[in-house]
Structure 1
Amino acid sequence: MKFRHLTYFFFLVIFSILSSCYSFTGSSLSPETQTIQINEFINNAPLNNPQLAQQFSTDIQNRFLQRTTLKGTKENPDILIEGEITDYSITPTTISSSVNAPGGNIQAAQNKLTITVKVHYENRIEPDKSFDRVFSDEAVFSSDLDIQQIETAQVKLVNERIINKIFNDIVANW
């Protein structure tokens, strides 16, 4: 009987220590951090996708407002996130050729979409965590896709990967 009480006490102490050291939400943000402002990202990429900046800005705002307890604000935020899209490119990655076609028709079998985003993150509660970084990701896809399919599925995929990286660097601080 005495052993069982000692075991419960031991687990209670361990749980208390762990919960005081780590937030089970996975967030490393200070409890004093309560507000966030995410400015519209500007599209400065040489190849311009007209919906990219708006889509990226909306998606990153939604990520922070839905997955944290931070409240959006336009005045004196604890966290400020802003930036620009610096690259949006589609390049061939795999070449195929048809020996039966006259002249040996050479074409891309796969293409790669690359998006690069420059981010300014300012943490006014913990200024040492602030940063300016470049985030980039890519997706390889069949050259059979048309531009509409690329700009819906592939752009969404790459945006989500970049936003995951930004979110993890700010909130998870990994």
Structure 2
Amino acid sequence: MISKIFKSVAVFIAAISLTSCGFYSLSGVSIPDNVKTFQVDYFGYTATQVEVGIERDFTIVLQDLIQDQTSLSLVTQNGDYLYQGEITRFYISPITATADNRASQNRLTIDINVRFTNNKDEEKSFEKPYSFYYDYPANTQLQNAVLDTALEVIFDQITQEIYNDTLTNW
């Protein structure tokens, strides 16, 4: 008798867990069932200081993050979710000084303006600036491996914030 009740309860729980409530959630991701695709347009570059190619790199990092952490399909047009924007600032500044008033550390700051369009629910669309930085020794040139590391740290942080703002309910 108890095993029959247990089996009935187990079947009921399994049935409930398999039915859809209109959303699916994986690692905090909350995407409506009617959203299947996303589009990341090539991010522009409006910053006064030029660093060639980083807008392409940022676009790819954002695409990869969404592809890797959701089941959405990347499309080149008519995406259910549309990401657009531009890098608005690439700025290097000294942040700490030595006793003889020379910089001992520099900071690279990158600002990115993002326009998110939710083509399934226009009320969830927004435009928002994102910014992050990377500190490095002042006696080091911001090139090659140092620049690659700086961009990785900054882009990882900014794309994760964009992901959280557009794909999670936190």
TM-score range, shorter chain: 0.7 to 0.9
Query: What aligned pairs does 1:133-172 form with structure 2 within 5 A after superposition?
Result: 133-148=128-143, 149-172=145-168
Match of 1:35 in 2: 37
| Offset, 1:151 | 1.4
Provide TM-score, normalisation by structure 1: 0.82
Separation in 1, partners of 2:34, 2:160: 23
Matching residue within 69, 74, 77 for 1:75: 77
Q: 1:4-54 deviations in whole A, cap 9, x for unaligned?
A: x56x949x65x947x866744122111110111110001111111112111
Counterpart residue identity of residue 49, structure 2: L
Q: Which runs of 4+ in 1 moved over 3 A?
A: 19-24
Query: What aligned pairs does 1:4-153 form with structure 2 within 5 A after superposition?
Result: 9=9, 13=13, 16=16, 23-25=24-26, 26-97=28-99, 105-148=100-143, 149-153=145-149
Separation in 2, partners of 1:81, 1:46: 23
Q: 1:125-171 deviations in whole A, cap 9, x for unaligned?
A: 12111110011111222213222143111121111100000011111
Counterpart residue identity of residue 41, structure 1: F
Q: Structure 1 residues 156-165 or 73-82, which shifts more?
A: 73-82
Larger Rg: 1
| Offset, 1:2 | 4.2
Provide TM-score, normalisation by structure 2: 0.84
Report percent identity of matched pairs.
Answer: 26
Q: Structure 1 residues 140-149 or 128-137, which shifts more?
A: 140-149
Q: What is the aligned length?
A: 167
CA RMSD of aligned residues (A): 2.6
| Offset, 1:91 | 0.6
| Offset, 1:106 | 2.5
Separation in 1, partners of 2:77, 2:49: 33
